[in-house]
């Protein structure tokens, strides 16, 4: 990534979202000054007031969904000036929670929301992950991202490679921690078997079912999981609400909405 | 000056604030004729998304309105839901949630005061640039911020979007050993926070940002400085039950912003946040926080929003001291793994109001007999402050032009940005929404 002694030029950007992934970078308190000395952060509006919005970038990190025309324009501009583009967080990779709004028909939003006198609905386009619009070179899921995975990514990029991040489901990490199973013992909708690990099964380790915040593993087997929860007497509405929470666009694309409606 | 001189000031993208916002000002003959704080962050309709979902899904969704305030939204949502379900909050749960809010306040205030605001007063473009001349200060600031995160990790499960707090209590309780270790860290951090008070008293804040306004805060029932209470009180002497917030705060849509604005039903824009809390409740501070308060506000609290940065600094000291006391209280009762009460789901409506770093946060939910969310309403501090920010921008620009000092676009822009930044606006929070009238 670097040539000679020059530090790579890096930009960090947020589209529509909660800014949680940028905050996680700031939450690397022990490494922040090392980071600032190792890479040259030239464009980071959340943290700096003097930014270069037009120079070439060796690496750029983008979090959030595309929810407005402005987001899309910004994303395309970033892609055009960047050599290595990293999607930061579940919103950018899978659509995250903001993409849930796509399930509400436009007519309903217009009727219920516009009536309440809200100006925001006027330019509301469908909320979709950044990965839907431009090619990315690396994906870093998580809601929010794990700090150690971000640092591993930066470190690897400095050496011209990408890190090997866990691709196993949360369920596997949960088993190695010897947690009590939230499905078997508590009849809860736990997304651990469908969700990509790397978090160390944080939620089940706290006695709380996995919410699926890191997005799906490569083969999530949604249908088998849904059947398993259904057999335990959990309502299809609750099952689908939880399972599609963080990755609604994938869920919709796979036609699972129809399956659930049919079963219902 | 001859004829009518007209100029516009446009800042398309505010730096060092959370989210996407800009400033537009039109000035004719040294009078501001138009002022817009443009919020162009996309909407996410979170309140509408909750409708039809099970109440157990609420916390995991609503915490993601905003990362910096995620612990605050979590606590407010759980309190409102428990209110709707008629559940009591056990003493232990109340203390732990209090500790979580303190951690969130330490992290949020430290991030804002040291990393976002302080560079303005010391003449740098970012905290990173500042670290070259002030390495010890920046290191110590980052440690304070990290300590706030450590509290959130211990109680909330992680620093952003907590997973451990649930309806009725917590998934896993911190052990006494962990709480005792945290207590020592909090104690040790008080001195380093006080060193920033030493630094802050040497910095002179400008007077052009002074603009009288109404302050509002939540008043605790006991005569203590806390982030919880049941009464809304204003600097005009008004008092209202917090549960009547819909009658007290009037929200309205404006064309240039994706976020709603707010005003008091009794008239006028108002400010919530650390400065408002100090104005209304500062006399209740004790310990080292009282010392910080007296040193930073020798003439009492003035209506100058730039002082909000120092008010947050006073609150960092308060949160550290209060955190030590809460840890002591928590280890004085017997240790247990889990504290989550059993309950039956029933229909109901619940409201919660708490003080969070940027001001008063309201959450309200209505659920049916099956636990399905029927209606949700959230009013964030930043949305309440936006109209006041615009008023302050107008006043600051006119005061600056009146000084007769050279006032080029760059100076004006820099100063106006400082005004917005002092509010510590959280733009993600302000655009989360849409109220659904059921």
pLDDT digits (tens, 9 = 90+) for B347-374: 999 999 999 999 999 999 999 999 999 9
Nearest to B434 by CA among A12, A153, A42, A104: A104
Out of A33, A65, A143, name the one closest to residue B161 (CB): A143
Burial profile B37-68: b = 16 or more Cβ within 10 angstroms, e = fewer: bbbbbbbbbbbbbbbebbbbbbbbbbbbbbbb
Whether the CA torsion B195, B198, B201, B204 is positive or negative: it is negative
Other beta carbons within 10 Å of A108: 11
Encoded tokens for A245: 């929470």
What DSSP character marks residue A131?
G
Report in angstroms the alpha-carbon separations of B191 from B234, B240, B289, B307, B309. Answer: 33, 38, 11, 21, 19
B437 contacts in A (CB within 8 Å)? 112, 115-116
Distance from CA of B424 to the nearest CA of A (A): 12
Tell me, what's the pLDDT at A122?
A: 47
Helix axis angle, B91-110 relative to B70-85, nearest 10°? 150
Beta carbons of B434 and A116 less than 8 Å apart: yes
For residues B231 and B219, the answer to whether their CB atoms sit within 8 Å is yes
Q: What is the DSSP letter of B90?
A: P
pLDDT of A195 above 90: yes
Lowest mean pLDDT among A95-104, A138-147, B146-155: A95-104
Q: What's residue A222's pLDDT? A: 87
Six-digit token pair at A258? 């129809």
Confidence label for A3 from pLDDT (cuts 50, 70 and 90): very low
Half-sphere exposure of B202 (CA within 13 A, CB side): 6
For the record, the structure tokens of A84 come out as: 């290595």
Mean pLDDT of the B186-201 span: 97
3-state secondary structure of B369: coil
Q: Both tokens of residue B139?
A: 């290191």
pLDDT band for position B430 (50/70/90)? Answer: confident
For chains A and B, what is the number of CB pairs under 8 angstroms? 194
pLDDT at B160: 97
Segment B181-204 mean pLDDT: 96
What's the gap in Å between the CA of A45 and the closest CA on chain B?
Answer: 5
Pull the structure tokens for residue B403. Answer: 């000084």
- CA-CA distance, B359 to B315, in Å (whole number)? 12
Does residue A207 come out as left (phi exceeding 0), alpha (psi in the -120 to 50 range) or beta?
left
Mean pLDDT over each residue of chain A, to the nearest integer? 88
Is residue B228 pLDDT above 50, yes or no?
yes
Identify which of A18, A33, A71 has the shortest CB distance to residue B66: A18
CA distance A159 to chain B (A): 23
Q: Does ipTM come in above 0.85? A: yes
More reliable by pLDDT, A34 or A254: A34
Residue B132: CB atoms within 10 Å: 12
Of A72 and B438, the one with more pLDDT: A72
| Cα–Cα distance measured from residue A85 to residue A133, given in angstroms and rounded to the nearest whole number | 13
User: In the structure encoding, which two tokens stand for residue A221, read together?
Assistant: 């087997």
Retrieve residue B38's tokens: 């443009």
Report in angstroms the alpha-carbon separations of B347 from B62, B184, B352, B366.
20, 44, 17, 8
Give per-residue pLDDT as tens, A224-245: 998 999 999 998 888 888 888 8
Confidence of residue B97 (pLDDT cuts 50, 70, 90): very high
pLDDT value, residue B408: 86
In 3-state terms, chain B is what percent helix, strand and coil (to 5)?
50, 20, 30
What are the tens digits of pLDDT across the range B294-319?
Answer: 999 999 999 999 999 999 999 999 99
Does the CB of A29 have a partner CB in chain B at under 8 Å? yes
User: What pLDDT does residue B253 have?
Assistant: 81
């Amino acid at each position: 990534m670097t040539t000679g002694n020059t530090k790579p030029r890096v930009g960090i950007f947020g589209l529509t979202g909660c800014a949680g992934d940028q905050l996680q970078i700031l939450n690397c308190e022990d490494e922040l000054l090392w980071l600032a000395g190792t890479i040259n952060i030239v464009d980071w509006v959340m943290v700096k007031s003097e930014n270069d919005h037009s120079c070439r970038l060796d690496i750029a990190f983008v979090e959030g969904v595309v929810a407005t025309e402005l987001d899309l324009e910004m994303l395309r501009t970033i892609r055009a000036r960047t050599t290595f583009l990293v999607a930061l967080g579940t919103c950018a990779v899978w659509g995250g929670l903001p993409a849930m709004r796509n399930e509400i028909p436009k007519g309903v939003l217009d009727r219920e929301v516009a009536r309440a006198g809200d100006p925001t609905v006027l330019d509301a386009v469908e909320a979709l992950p950044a990965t839907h619009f431009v090619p990315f070179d690396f994906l870093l899921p998580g809601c929010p991202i794990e700090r150690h995975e971000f640092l591993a990514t930066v470190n690897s990029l400095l050496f011209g490679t990408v890190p090997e991040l866990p691709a196993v489901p949360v369920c596997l990490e949960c088993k190695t921690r010897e947690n009590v199973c939230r499905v078997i013992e508590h009849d809860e909708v736990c997304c651990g078997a469908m969700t990509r690990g790397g978090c160390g099964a944080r939620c089940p380790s706290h006695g709380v079912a996995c919410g699926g915040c890191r997005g799906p593993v490569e083969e999530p087997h949604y249908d088998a999981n849904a059947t398993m929860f259904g057999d335990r007497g959990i309502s299809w509405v609750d099952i689908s609400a939880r399972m599609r929470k963080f990755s609604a666009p994938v869920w919709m694309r796979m036609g699972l909405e129809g399956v659930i409606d049919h079963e219902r | 000056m001859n004829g009518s001189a007209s100029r516009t000031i446009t800042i398309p993208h505010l730096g060092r604030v959370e989210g996407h916002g800009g400033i537009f000002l039109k000035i004719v003959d040294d009078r501001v004729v138009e002022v817009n704080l443009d919020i162009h962050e996309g909407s996410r309709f979170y309140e509408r998304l909750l409708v039809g979902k099970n109440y157990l899904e609420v916390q995991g969704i609503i915490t993601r309105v905003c990362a910096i305030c995620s612990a605050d939204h979590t606590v407010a949502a759980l309190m409102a839901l428990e209110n709707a379900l008629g559940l009591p909050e056990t003493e232990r749960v109340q203390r732990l949630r209090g500790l979580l809010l303190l951690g969130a306040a330490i992290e949020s205030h430290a991030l804002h005061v040291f990393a976002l605001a302080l560079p303005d007063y010391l003449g740098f473009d970012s905290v990173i640039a500042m670290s070259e001349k002030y390495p010890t200060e920046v290191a110590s600031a980052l440690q304070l911020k990290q300590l706030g995160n450590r509290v959130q990790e211990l109680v909330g499960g992680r620093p952003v979007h907590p997973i451990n707090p649930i309806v009725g209590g917590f998934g896993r309780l911190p052990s006494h050993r962990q709480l005792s270790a945290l207590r020592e860290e909090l104690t040790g951090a008080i001195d380093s926070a006080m060193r920033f008070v030493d630094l802050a008293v040497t910095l002179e804040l400008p007077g052009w940002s002074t603009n009288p306004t109404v302050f509002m805060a939540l008043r605790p029932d006991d005569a203590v400085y806390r982030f919880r209470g049941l009464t809304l009180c204003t600097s005009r002497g008004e008092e209202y039950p917090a549960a009547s917030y819909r009658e007290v705060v009037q929200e309205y849509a404006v064309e240039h912003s994706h976020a709603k604005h707010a005003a008091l039903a009794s008239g006028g824009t108002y400010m919530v946040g650390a400065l408002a809390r100090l104005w209304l409740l500062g006399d209740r501070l004790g310990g080292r926080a009282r010392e910080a308060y007296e040193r930073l506000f020798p003439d009492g609290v003035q209506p100058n929003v730039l002082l909000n940065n120092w008010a947050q600094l006073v609150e960092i000291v308060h949160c550290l001291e209060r955190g030590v006391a809460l840890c002591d209280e928590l280890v004085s009762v017997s240790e247990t793994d889990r504290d989550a009460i059993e309950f039956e789901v029933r229909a109901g409506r619940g409201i919660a109001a708490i003080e969070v770093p940027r001001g008063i946060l309201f959450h309200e939910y209505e659920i049916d007999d099956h636990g399905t969310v029927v209606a949700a309403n959230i009013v964030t501090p930043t949305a309440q402050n936006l109209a006041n920010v615009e008023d302050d921008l107008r006043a600051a620009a006119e005061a600056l032009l009146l000084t007769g000092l050279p006032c080029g676009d760059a100076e004006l822009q820099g100063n106006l940005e400082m005004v917005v930044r002092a509010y510590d606006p959280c733009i993600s929070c302000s655009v989360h929404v849409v109220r659904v009238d059921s």
